[in-house]
Amino acid sequence: MYALTENLGRRVARGIDEFGYAALLLAESLYWLVAGVLRGQPVRLRAVVTEMMRIGVAAIPIVAILAFANGVMMALQGVYTLKDFGAESQVIPGLALSITREFGALIVGIVVAGRSGSAIAARIGSMQMSQEIDALRVLGVNPVRYLVAPILLAMLVMVPALTILANLMALTGGGLLCVLKLHFSLASYWEAVIAYLEVADVMQGLVKSLVFAVLIALVGCTNGFMARGGADGIGHSTTRSVVLCIAAIVIADMLFTLFLSR
Amino acid sequence: MSGTRERIEPGQPVVEVEGLGARYGEQTVLEDIDLTIRAGEIHVIMGGSGSGKSTLLRHLLGLNQPVAGQVRLFGQDIARLGEREMLALRRRIGVSFQGGALFSSMTVEDNVAFPLREHTRLDENTIRIMTRMKLEVVNLAGFEDLLPNQLSGGMVKRAALARAIVMDPELLFFDEPSAGLDPVVSAELDELIIRLRDIMKITVVVVTHELESAFKIADRITVLDRGRILMTDTTGAVRATAHTRVQALLQRRPEALQLDAEDYLQRLTRS
Ligand SMILES: Nc1ncnc2c1ncn2[C@@H]1O[C@H](COP(=O)(O)OP(=O)(O)OP(=O)(O)O)[C@@H](O)[C@H]1O
Ligand SMILES: [Mg+2]
């Protein structure tokens, strides 16, 4: 029993530790992104571009496919559910709103968490173990500026960009299904979508995606820096990073939706 | 930048450690360390495996926070330095870690050029020339484009050394230059360290458990044992000392190094 509570206590302590660590990482990265230029130690554009390729460009195919499939599924469910009420045509506003406000960002969040949340933790974790992080420090290069800030910036650009792509692909998938099942023309489908959507709906999804971007960057980096104990440690912190990223995204999404749809 | 880079006179203290204590969790790793390293000398910190050499080095570099005591580099207490002053200080220091710590995603050339790219505004051509010069010094010319995982152990050490000296530091730390290398390569590295000190007038701190190499290169030796300093003196004095434990270490008499029973029990039960 004692061991159990002690273990729990240690876990909580570690949780708080990591939370504080992540907050520091965020503050320090933002500091370097802004003040680095003034201090003559800017965040390297090349590093940002590399990260953007890894995080964003490489994720385009999978995001496109998943979003498209999701759009098809949502439209299908919508059509069948609404048919009972004879309200099939209402499927379009339902699709348009739930995709732009919710599912576009969520799909991207989960894909990026799975791809990059793990990769970031693994990369920084192995740099930690091979003393590359220490080497950066003694070479007078701040590891947060060099490693974390580019990741954060790349996330902030690419996750919303991917979200726009996911929105378009999901709406296209849903649209094709509507064309098949409801015998709309594709043009009138898009017209209806555009008529229903307001800028605020799209913005809601994009703001969420910015929050997801920050969460993935911080959780991935924190788990990397805190990795200890060889190959096992890296494996552990990689898994942990993905799980925590997805949990953080879903919980943040829920809170967001609760507050915004009151 | 460090415009106030007053050159330290030979013989002046460069590294000063007072009453340093270090711990990993519950385990005390260093206790009561007093040490002065002077400009222009090759100072070897010698001790058995696990005696705390690398830990001491991490404290000298400000990578670990001590639980007691202080470390001064070039007369400045490193615990009190702000980030900016620490950066300026670190540019005067070169470090080669025990495992090399080369950036695994970069070629040898990019590794060596890294400090130049980060800290100077030199154009790529100049950087290339300076990088190749340093690679020449450590005998790695022709291996510029290899990645660290394509290098042998000795080549990793030499590449790490090239990166450590590329900014022409005043103070060089070298952890285990010869561990795990064949005698010829390790002798080469020893020569190299001596040459660096003679040509570039660098103060060199070498951490090693290789006796032969220690006595060959050192001006002064600090003997570290189970987290405490047994003695610091010139090579001659260390060799001639009557200190029984130092002699036991030097003559590699395992029986004399065995821990007494009580100490041993304490170690077992501590974890
Ligand atoms: N990161 C760490 N966490 C916990 N204990 C550590 C850590 N690093 C070292 N130690 C412990 O500190 C003690 C001294 O280790 P250190 O690496 O300083 O030895 P060393 O003298 O450099 O040995 P070697 O010659 O084998 O490199 C050892 O008992 C080791 O187990
Ligand atoms: Mg060591």
Please list the helix, strand and coil fractions of chain B in percent, rounded to the nearest 5, in that order. 40, 25, 35
Give pLDDT, residue A241: 94
Q: Which pLDDT value is given to residue A183? A: 84
The Cβ of residue A49 has, within 10 Å, a number of other Cβ atoms equal to 13
pLDDT of residue A245 exceeding 70, the answer is: yes
Structure tokens of A124? 């920084």
Domain ranges within chain A, ordered by starting residue:
44-261
- Whether residue B140 contacts residue B108, with contact meaning beta carbons closer than 8 Å, is answered with yes
Q: Which residues of A touch B103 (CB under 8 A)?
A: 127, 132, 135
pLDDT at A222 over 90: yes
> What's the order of all strands across the beta sheet hosting B68-73?
B27-38, B13-24, B68-73, B76-77
**pLDDT at position A234:** 92
Residue B106 confidence (pLDDT) above 50: yes
Give start and end residues of each alpha helix (H) in chain A: 2-38, 45-55, 60-83, 91-98, 104-112, 118-129, 132-138, 143, 149-182, 186-196, 199-225, 230-260
A106-124 as b/e, with b when 16 or more CB fall inside 10 Å? bbbbbbbbbbbbbbbbbbb
Q: Read off the pLDDT of each residue in A149-167 and give the average, rounded to a whole number.
A: 96
Residue A210 pLDDT > 90, yes or no? yes
Judge: A131–B102 Cβ closer than 8 Å, yes or no. no
Atom of ligand 1 nearest to the CA of B56: 18
pLDDT digits (tens, 9 = 90+) for B185-208: 888 889 889 988 888 889 999 999
A50 and chain B in contact, CB less than 8 A: no
What DSSP character marks residue A100? I
pLDDT digits over B16-74, tens only? 999 999 999 888 999 999 999 999 999 999 988 889 999 999 999 999 989 999 999 99
Q: Do A134 and B103 touch (CB under 8 A)?
A: no
Place of tokens 């060596």: B112
Instruction: Check residues B226 and A42 and name the one with the higher pLDDT.
Output: B226
Residue B256 binned pLDDT confidence (cut-offs 50, 70, 90): low
Dist CA A68 CA A95 (whole Å): 12
Is residue A4 within 8 angstroms of chain B, CB to CB? no
Interface test with B, best of A139, A144, A145 (most B CBs within 10 A): A139
Q: How many residues does chain A have?
A: 262
Q: What is the dihedral of CA B18, B23, B26, B29, to 10 degrees?
A: -90
pLDDT tens sequence across A57-88: 999 999 999 999 999 999 999 888 888 887 77
For residue A107 the two structure tokens come to: 């799909």
Residue B7: what pLDDT? 64
Condensed to tens digits (0 to 9), the pLDDT of residues B112-166 reads 999 999 888 899 999 999 999 999 988 888 999 999 999 988 899 999 999 999 9
More confident call, A20 vs A151: A151
Chain A residue whose CA is closest to B116: A139
pLDDT tens string A100-135: 999 999 999 999 999 999 999 999 999 999 999 999
Taking 80 as the threshold, does the pLDDT of residue B271 lie above it?
no
Measure B224 CA to ligand 1 centroid, in angstroms. 13
What mean pLDDT comes out for the span A84-96? 84
pLDDT of residue B255: 56
Cβ-based neighbour number of residue A38 at 10 Å = 8
Confidence at B261, pLDDT banded by 50, 70, 90: low
Please tell me the residue having the least CA distance from ligand 1 atom 29.
B50
Pocket-forming residues, ligand 1, beta carbon under 6 Å: B 24, 29, 47, 49-55, 98, 209
Structure confidence at residue A5 (pLDDT)? 63
* Mean pLDDT of the A148-157 span: 96
Provide mean pLDDT across the span B204-216: 90
Predicted pLDDT of residue B169: 92
Contact B10, B40 (CB under 8 A): yes
pTM of the predicted model as reported, rounded to 2 decimal places: 0.86
User: What count of Cα atoms within 13 Å lies in the side-chain half-sphere of residue B215?
Assistant: 8
d(CA A197, CA A185): 19
The reported pLDDT for the residue numbered B112 is: 96
Any idea which ligand is nearest the CA of A228?
Answer: 1
What local confidence, expressed as pLDDT, does residue B1 receive?
A: 40
Our CA angle for A249, A252, A256, nearest 5°, is 135
Q: How many CB atoms lie within 10 A of CB B86?
A: 18
Res A198 pLDDT > 50: yes
Per-residue pLDDT, A86: 76
Does residue B2 sit at the A interface (CB-CB below 8 Å)?
no
Burial label, A261 (beta-carbon count in 10 A; 0-12, 13-18, 19+): exposed
**What ipTM was reported for this prediction?**
0.86
The answer for residues whose C-beta is within 8 angstroms of residue A4's C-beta and 6 or more apart is none
Of B83, B97, B118, the CB nearest to A134: B97
Count CA within 13 A, CB hemisphere, residue A142: 23
Q: Which two tokens stand for residue A180?
A: 């098949």
B149 touches chain A (CB under 8 A): no
- Give A249's contacts (C-beta < 8 A, 6+ positions apart): A106, A109, A110, A113, A212, A215, A216
- Do A142 and B101 make contact, defined as CB atoms within 8 angstroms? no
Q: How many CA atoms lie within 13 A of B195 on its CB side?
A: 10
Burial of B84 (0-12, 13-18, 19+ CB in 10 A): exposed
Task: Give the Cα separation of B64 and B35 in Å (integer).
Answer: 17
User: Which range is most confident: A36-40, B33-37, B83-87?
Assistant: B33-37
pLDDT at A248: 95
- SS3 of B204, please? strand
